[in-house]
Amino acid sequence: MKILVTGGARSGKSTFAERWVMKQATSADYVATAQAFDDEMKDRIRLHQLQREQSGFTWKTHEAPLELAELLHKLGERSVAKESTAAEVAGPVVLVDCLTLWLSNVLLGAGEGADAVDAVMTREIERLIAAVKAFAGTLVMVTNEVGSGIVPEYPLGRQYRDWAGQLNRKMASIADQVFLVTAGIPIELKSREYRL
């Protein structure tokens, strides 16, 4: 099962994703994509780690700021069943937090020139989509809705916003469920999708 959880900054999407996973299994893999480039980000990462440790749930943390597709292939190869409160969950349970941080890492390392950046971004997004499609187990992915606010002032910001929109749209199309979290309230979107 593939689940996408999206929403704005501080909307409660990571908290919802973690709670969803904790209801499904007794342990899970947590894939962190953040990189600690400054003290503020280091503090955020430490806070998230502490919250997971204090949850009483067994999380195994992996860091994948760039090589997310490779890690998902590796984690998906495991076929150990994990217990759920309601039933057995086939395969591993993995939470990725978050896709848009991974995307920014890829974008910032993509090099110079529009053609080079487009080639790298397209290739990496397609590799990630293939890994998600091939994943055998339960995969919960957190992402951000970055295009709902003001238009970014700088070209890099606009480029990032556009790539994030494309990534989210593609991930939503292959997800079994898509949750939008606003003000801490999750709404499942795919069951409400209007089809033309």
Return the amino acid letter for 162: D
Return the amino acid letter for 24: Q
Euclidean distance between CA atoms 124 and 103, whole angstroms:
9
73 tagged catalytic = no
Question: Exactly one of 19, 48, 161, 170 is catalytic; which is it?
Answer: 48
Strands across the sheet containing 185-188: 58-63, 27-32, 93-97, 138-142, 2-7, 177-182, 185-188
Euclidean distance between CA atoms 148 and 161, whole angstroms:
9
- How would you label 51-82 residue by residue, b for 16+ Cβ within 10 Å and e otherwise? ebeeeebebeebebbeebbebbeebbeeeeeb
Known catalytic residues?
48
